[in-house]
Structure 1
């Protein structure tokens, strides 16, 4: 309340005699002091009070800080308006009463301090704690004060003056803040929902000094709840497990469902309509109970509770604190469950990611100054990816594609950039030249500027497709070549009469057919090199001289047919343009076997006597490409062609695994 300055006239102050002028003002307590029958106390009428007491009372009544004076042998108390709330329900009876009668419940702590003041020793306390019953129930209170001895002119201590302040709110606020910070730190480190509930229950139980605290969650049926996290003081039984809501009184259940806090100070004095609930409380050993329900989306979801074995008043501040903890616990439990679900999902994904036979890479796109996809960075790859590419994961993680695989084509960044920009999956097949392998990829955008790629190694399929295409072209080419050979046979065959001519032509065409059938046999198990040469070259000879010179060489199955195709192409070319196109032509095929691992077959094809060779062709023909495809690609060998004026010379070098030198 607002007061006028000391000495200003108040109702009841007018007409005060000079002997009582020091009692002017003072608000409510000023009026009470003026009206009090002091003659019935050891102090006697105010007019006869010592000057020091009058001065102190005047100062006290004019002050806004809580103050009191204890005077005389009985330590009779006088105090001001600001001190009255500190007395609680003991005001106004405390006015004029002995100090020991007012503060009987804390006399053991504060009595010695008072007596030291009357002995002449001042005391300054910044924070002293008491358990007081000033309002009819025990409560913790904190004060800062100074006790100052007051002496008479002779130097004897006649009384004590106290200026004080209750700092309970400040202390509790600081304590609550420390409690919140500690609880927050503890819950933040927990990732198990039950551990979160148990930690919150323990924190509440210890902070409130109660005997049991717990966190319960209501089941989906809405009729039962389960206590998942609980803390109990020594000697207090636990309640963990499943319980029925109907054990509580109907009015209590209604409060729970409405989200209202239920505080029971003494279950032993509950009204008759809550007798069933009282019986439940007795059975669990609780006389005082505080329950804070949590209603989520219109449904009772959980509750945080605290129990005490003795009757207890739950202060509004304690109820607010438990409400805060309940909400914080609910959030932490939700977070822990979400993280647990995420961990489980991630574990499933990790298992799939780790065990997939297909390669998987998670990447982010990198752009140039114009915003175009220019590169990518590897964020994660699985073991299958490393196996498909032959690159260990440690060599690519966190690195750019162009750094991890030098020479890689821009195609990859451009293709994956389309998936990121469009948000649509992109499917492609392309040969990664630096790796020498074909990959089929499907790219998906996962988040802005990031994507996942599924890799399949399709090198064998692509090679098979290439071989199939080559075979189809070879069949077509061979058909045309066969006609050419037949034409050459017809043109070069000489006979004295028509029947002889027919027989010669038929024989050569039949030989050509037999060679073609031999080459078409997919299950050909290999052959001697000389036999293969004779079988392949026989149909092309029209009287020309053939020299075969070299050791016995058993060709392995994988080398026989490609080599036959190569020889066939050389022979076809010789029939069209070289030594086998002229009657005086000569062909020599010489070979040797070089030792090594594996040994190598060195074969030289040399034509003479045919039309003069003007030089190499302007561009490679189909026959040259077949030589490259069979000798280099299929057999891993080397080809060297020399277009000499006297005739074509060709050197072939082939590795022959499994053949003894």
Structure 2
């Protein structure tokens, strides 16, 4: 059942617990009497996914949302509504000074703060990022504290583990017997070089220098050209017994060496080459021996020895690559297991070859990846030429690491290479988390702007109403002044209703009354009124097609949107210029390339100063305005935005600074339509109810009491039911007692629309009039054909709608 306290909504499990909490035993007492600052904070907190906490009053009463509940562990839900001191008693000596600073009026923000917590029955090291913000009451005194926080324990632990893994790989790189180096960029700048590489080229500075700078002797012998070819083509280059002349010691003699090596391109995430991996062995001794052997033996033996040398070198090369590769290498059998694995499996995952070889890989794969992995095995059985795949493998200590696989089938087997991309995935997750935090911050900024704007405008309206009611209480007030104050209250209520309507329009929560009408007719009629609004110094140019342009929308809201855009254009031109209003049929919404279908586009183009680029994307935000103080609420364009979206259309703004602006409203176009006949609004004095019996259904005591009193003064007999179930009992109690039902829409349990439908089933002859200030059901589904009276309503409107409903019902009974 929805809460009567408008701020105690949503919030998931914790929100439900707050609504069900017995506040009679709490220092805060009933939520209805909570300070407005506390209500606002609770509403914001329950509507957010970010962990949030409120500590209120001298007793440190604790309120939080689902996000913070997860951080409390086993202490939730007992901590909800209790003392903050009891919640974190084990770390109170660390928390209390920070809380005291907040209660003293000082805001605090801290990152990576370590705590030893006993929240799950055992001590654990945790890390948090949080901010404690003091909250002041109406007198400016600190009444409590608001905290938005996030636990960073997992991220810091992951960073520690990643750092340890990097050190292990660096140790492996440093201890490798073959020489290795990593070159980056088209200039082949040294990023890494292991000790074996330094022994090969001599004690010279490498890191940060290019090959041309660090090894000019190697560059002059063609090795730089080979690197350029690998970098440009993305294809590896392998050499055996390649001769090179190097000066190992500065100023010393040159030495001729023979090398087996490979230049392997390094690819970035986007598939482009970002560097070259160099790996090889010094085979000078063997090469020189083979050269001597070839010189001294016969040609046949020379050829045989050469062939043997090639075989040995090839085998040795493959063996070295297999042994020192930092990636997982393996020979995969189509039945789902590895036959052979290289040492990197033990380095990365902790499994030895004997523990994995012959074992089904599905046993080591994360359960969420098992289904996709089986599909990958099936693809390998189908001899897919080159196969790439990602999944998570379990390590020996029970953790999981992300592996990116490349596999090539050959001879009934698949030769696989797997690269550990766990750190890349962690960085991606951290980036996503940062982007989500940014989105949440932007939402909070928008909520703050919206609530601040609403509070400002409604405080102005309430000031007029309060002043007028205070003056009306003064004794001996002349009739003229009394009438003036009453008129001021009435006008201010109308302005408040307009402000509420604009907010509902922006939120797309107003109850629209769509009908089919010719947009050209409405634009033509409104253009005449626009001329009055803009003044004689602004020229109005109307461009409309000859054929009708029918749309399906609320004509009243359509007229309001046109007036709001026209007033905005008038203010932009400072009362002088030309306003062009153009209507045209379009297919889709051309600037966006979206909204396939037929639309009617209504454009208003002014010759004002235009809109600054940095403000263009914010002009439809509620209460955002570039005008001076007192020159507008900033809700006019937000009404246009909400009306367009709720009507299935769009509104777009285009502007070049100094060359004016164009606002275009797109509404769905209806072909071959028959517009509805306009029903003129009745203007009549109050009429006597003549004893008509009305069933009033209203759960709010103040509104229900006022409605029954008003109807009594109008000559109606009334029976008041506080909910739908009571209303149905009253209807069945005395058949045909009531001639009309006047019901609110938003009520606990069965709402007004559901009640009206049930009455239509039981008593189809009994008319129902609905009243609502806001209902998401009305906004999404409409009034379902029932008469609807918008709050706040006047006595004249109430009298007219009831008389009309009763008269219609009586006519229908006479016909039958």
State the TM-score, normalizing by the size of structure 2. Answer: 0.24
Bigger radius of gyration among the two: 1
State the TM-score, normalizing by the size of structure 1. Answer: 0.30
